[in-house]
Structure 1
């Protein structure tokens, strides 16, 4: 089973997100990642979720999503060319002996330090989920204290003909 990235445009109303996530839990499907925010129209939100499943499971998910009253549009964008990003804030130990190494790693991955204390750096890294995981894997031996991840956001690539 592979990951599918699904984009859902929905009404920005109380309870809508709860109904969407309830649809997944009620059918035993797991949401690997979920991110939701307003679009240009404050009355509409874009929910981006990642779920694992074969074609039949994803088709069932999209059909059930279409049936929800406040859902406007459902698109499995993983069937198209698309751009995806995730952001992570990572608090990593940065004592005198490791500060330079942490800064080199963050520079290599085009991240940035967003908070400094006497014993740690909080760093921000943006990219694909695999890039975020690579940073985590490299920083883990140095000593990660905390990780916060946004989850995936994604957008279909523009049609080059238009």
Structure 2
């Protein structure tokens, strides 16, 4: 079983996340991590999905994802050595005797302490999954109290692995149509108001 990083651009609509995740669960795929956030366009969100499973089944899932109305593009960027990062907060037990040992590990991994209490340290670290796993393994003997991971985010290094959205023209058309409708309603409403005023004036004269 190989690990894959899937990048999915979707329209920023309610319910899209559930539909995308549902396709993976229906095929028996366990999602290792899923991170979602807006892109430079507030109407488009990027999902970064980390999964482990059979390549043939994954290919079928990607084809089905590509057919969803809200999905703009689906790319398996793990094939091109993508840039991957994850942020983790780690709360580890600490006392005067072991605090220096913990700080040596923190400095080695270029992490930083974001909170200090009499019996614990909270550390923030950013990096690849392997870097974070290695740091957690070294901190484990000191008793890990809490670990919070954001999930993997990634970008393809080469443009051919991140093609432009297949529905880009459609999205632009939708935006333009929406603006035209809003403008028409605005001007139409004003025109109706003017007509109403004129009619009212005529009715007064007739009286």
User: Do they superpose with TM above 0.5?
Assistant: yes
The structure showing larger relative contact order (alpha-carbon pairs under 8 Å, at least 6 residues apart) is 1
Is the partner of 1:6 in helix, strand or coil? strand
Unaligned runs of 5+ in 2: 160-207
Count of residues in Structure 1 that have an aligned counterpart in Structure 2: 159
Partner of 2:14: 14
CA contact (8 A) 2:83 2:154 kept: yes
Is the partner of 2:42 in helix, strand or coil? coil
Which has more helix, going by share of residues? 2
Partner of 2:105: 105
Residue 55 of structure 1: how far off its partner (Å): 2.3
TM-score (norm 1): 0.95
CA contact (8 A) 2:80 2:158 kept: no
Matched, 1:143 2:143: yes
Matched, 1:117 2:154: no
CA contact (8 A) 2:27 2:57 kept: no
Structure 1 ranges of 4+ moved more than 3 A = none
Partner of 1:153: 153
Distance of 2:53 and 2:121 partners within structure 1 = 37
Residue 158 of structure 1: how far off its partner (Å): 4.2
RMSD of Structure 2 on Structure 1 (CA): 1.0
Partner of 2:65: 65
Which has more strand, going by share of residues? 1
Residue 141 of structure 1: how far off its partner (Å): 0.2
Is the partner of 1:96 in helix, strand or coil? coil
Bigger Cα Rg: 2
Partner of 2:39: 39
Greater shift, 63-72 or 50-59, is seen at 50-59
Distance of 1:128 and 1:57 partners within structure 2 = 26
- Cα deviation digits, residues 125-152 of structure 1 (max 9, x gap): 1111111110110000011100000111
Distance of 2:40 and 2:4 partners within structure 1 = 25
